[in-house]
Structure 1
Amino acid sequence: MEQYEPDRLSPAQEAAIRRSFRNGRAALTRRSLLRASAGGALAVGGLGALSACGIPAAGNTEGGVSAEDRSAKERTVAFSNWTEYMDVDDSGRRHPTLEAFTRRTGIKVTYTEDINDNTEFFGKIKPQLAAGQDTGRDIIVLTDWLAARLIRLGWVQKLDASHLPHAFANVASSYRTPDWDPGRAYSYPWQGIATVIAYNRKALDGVEVKTLSDLLDNTKLKGRVGLLTEMRDTMGMALLDMGKDPRSFSADDYDAALARLQKTVDKGQIRRFTGNDYTADLAKGDLAACVAWAGDVVQLQADNPDIGFVIPDSGYMLS
């Protein structure tokens, strides 16, 4: 789903999105959405799960083994993260936390912002993990449902709690014992990011956006609206906009929300579905408004005063 035309999707692209909704990467069953909503949120994201050398091959579902401590000899850590994350100090200097870590420990961090979309990233690392091979990464940051999948497959190494004396104590009680990682043996939550409606004020040219309905129904925005490929967020926001609770909804509610999005796609309202890469389109004004993650938007605002966001009165998701 690349190279969308500025004004609208082509018939072929619309057909591709329809296929994706039904059985492709964007497909999401009501059961899986409900399963993701445990604890009151669809996806509380930013979960750092460790992966490294010696990952068990596919078929091991007993959980990963404890990692060998190589810190005395290997003085580097490879860290994969999403784009636009918020390790910036008041002066605008990027990654001060990583610099402080290196000063304190002498361990260099190879930091890469190469995660754009959960499913896309899983497809990138799955062949190596399934073969029991090193991905070249020590720490990865994923949304909780994908962290849970990697743990369930046995592809994540256990954390050594003795080296993390403050981690568990500083985690909010509601996040300490998820059913997919009891006691936080393999992961820790890093950040919960609100899913919001972001906009480029200049591109809106006076159009008001306060709700998801404004994005889906206002013809003045046709071809200039973005939705997330992270369908737990997109569908969650659609359900909220319809007055439904994403933690508890009927099959009819889900079908109605999906049909509403499908109708919007069919009429050419949506420019494209994106991962984190919506930020470039929003900054340039190719997207006038989109469903977005608040942390990204805050970063964009530092360089572009036309960027803003609203939290709909109907509510928001945590990603």
Structure 2
Amino acid sequence: MRIPPKPLSRRGLFTGTLSSAALLAAGGVLAGCGTRAATQTEEGCTSEDRSATEKKLAFANWPQYMDVEESDPSKRPTLDAFVARTGIQVTYTEDINDNNEFFGKVQNQLASCQSIDRDIIVLSDWMSARMIRLGWIQKLDPAKVPNVTANLLPSLLNRSFDPENRIAVPWQAGLAGLAYNGTVTREIRTVDELLTRPDLKGRVTALSEMRDTIGLLLQSNGHDPANFTTAQFDDALAKLKRAVDSGQIRRFTGNDYAPELARGDIAACVAWSGDVIQLSGEDEKIRFVSPESGVLLYSDNMMVPNKATHRGNAEALINYYYEPAVAARLAAYVNYICPVKGAQAEMEKIDPALAANPLIFPGEDLLRRATVFMALDEKQEREYESRFQQVIGA
């Protein structure tokens, strides 16, 4: 059965509500403590695995990011089936509402090699990269997650922050591209159209998430968001500033652009695929556009933090969610890009319309043009974010 779309964008929750001051403060926490002191190593911060004797698991996720029974939201079909199959009791909490907020909640413990009482956490790719850089995440045993090895989409393999595919396993993914409302404007095809077309002046929004907006501009300039220089970043930022100064861009948003696009208050925008799936379900004239220059692929990753005492149980759950039939049931509810090969065929049995949706199961052509944004070091993160925030007026 087709599940009604959710009211919130996962990517919007990630970054749309974070102010410039809050972002710089979050970066300053690490700088103030001294990165060297906060950083851990596998040898210096060892973790005991009690999975053989303790059949339990603490799983922290975002709100509305797990399938539930429509008639009884306390029931989670795929998770309940895992418990029944394995006997591993899962304490499931929805206590991640913002990446930086969660980072602030757990950073003191992880920096001190202390437990955060969670065996799996789900964080977006850029925050995953930061935590991996700090040495706060345990490596997984590839032999314990064979389904991940067999079924992870090739486009999500060998990412710069996890080149060996042993630390961060995508839970769901999404695309950043363009969108327009065909009721109030003609089709838009390129980033340059969005930023310069006269009939769109003042009727355009872009995202306050630096990686997505700048990533698309890098691609439009012929540069690779997965591997770019400071000079190339400067070119993209200058292009964005011209669009701001000319009045082409009305404002920068989190996922609050969605109702404005639905009403036609804005004509076109930089958008997230999850939002557009929801909007197009109500109005087919709202379209997501994948520019020929490329789109940004982002993911939310399952990770096992240091001092988690049930890594083996966590690996069992991660492996379970990479069974194509399980992944399809989850994707039918959350409607983001499913990272599991083989799930599309299983989705045909659940909802053929969803199985045919390229924003849930992108084709090879689209995935070839999808890029994961480069992992930034601490200095780059502060510098690029600060300069971006100045341009967007945050």
TM-score range (shorter-chain normalised) is 0.5 to 0.7
Counterpart residue number, 1:101: 82
Range that drifts further, 271-280 or 209-218: 271-280
Asked if 1 retains the 8 angstrom alpha-carbon contact of 2:177 and 2:289, the reply is: yes
Aligned partners of 2:285 and 2:105: how far apart in 1? 34
Counterpart selection for 1:112 from 80, 83, 94: 94
Counterpart residue number, 1:32: none
Asked if 2 retains the 8 angstrom alpha-carbon contact of 1:197 and 1:311, the reply is: yes
Aligned partners of 1:303 and 1:72: how far apart in 2? 50
Report 1:189-268 matches (<5 A): 189-202=170-183, 205-246=184-225, 252-268=231-247
* Runs of at least 5 residues in structure 2 that lack an aligned partner in the other structure: 1-18, 28-36, 299-394
Aligned partners of 2:125 and 2:51: how far apart in 1? 27
Report 1:103-142 matches (<5 A): 103-105=84-86, 107-108=89-90, 110-112=92-94, 114-115=96-97, 118=99, 122-123=103-104, 125-130=106-111, 132=113, 134-135=115-116, 137-142=118-123
Identity %: 45
Report 1:138-153 matches (<5 A): 138-153=119-134
1:175–1:214: structure 2 CA closer, same or farther, 3 Å change rule? closer
Equivalent position SS for 1:302: helix
Asked if 1 retains the 8 angstrom alpha-carbon contact of 2:57 and 2:119, the reply is: no
Counterpart residue number, 1:308: 287
Aligned partners of 2:252 and 2:291: how far apart in 1? 20
1:261–1:178: structure 2 CA closer, same or farther, 3 Å change rule? closer
| Structure in which a larger fraction of residues adopt helix | 2
Equivalent position SS for 1:60: coil
Asked if 1 retains the 8 angstrom alpha-carbon contact of 2:106 and 2:116, the reply is: yes
Asked if 2 retains the 8 angstrom alpha-carbon contact of 1:199 and 1:309, the reply is: yes
User: Are residue 59 (structure 1) and residue 39 (structure 2) matched?
Assistant: yes
1:95–1:267: structure 2 CA closer, same or farther, 3 Å change rule? farther
Asked if 1 retains the 8 angstrom alpha-carbon contact of 2:217 and 2:236, the reply is: yes
Equivalent position SS for 1:101: helix
Aligned partners of 1:284 and 1:121: how far apart in 2? 33
Counterpart residue number, 1:318: 297
The amino acid across from 1:148 in the alignment is A
Asked if 2 retains the 8 angstrom alpha-carbon contact of 1:227 and 1:270, the reply is: yes
Asked if 1 retains the 8 angstrom alpha-carbon contact of 2:261 and 2:268, the reply is: yes
Range that drifts further, 305-314 or 73-82: 73-82
Equivalent position SS for 2:38: coil
Equivalent position SS for 2:61: strand
Aligned partners of 2:117 and 2:251: how far apart in 1? 31
Residue-pair matches, total: 265
The amino acid across from 2:185 in the alignment is G
- CA-based RMSD of the aligned residues comes to 4.3
Aligned partners of 2:237 and 2:215: how far apart in 1? 10
1:134–1:231: structure 2 CA closer, same or farther, 3 Å change rule? same
Equivalent position SS for 1:189: strand
Once the 2 structures are TM-superposed, how far is the Cα of residue 197 of structure 1 from its aligned partner? 0.6
Aligned partners of 2:52 and 2:256: how far apart in 1? 34
Aligned partners of 1:121 and 1:284: how far apart in 2? 33
Deviations 1:116-165 (A, max 9, x none): 5x556545543553355555644333343432321221222333555434
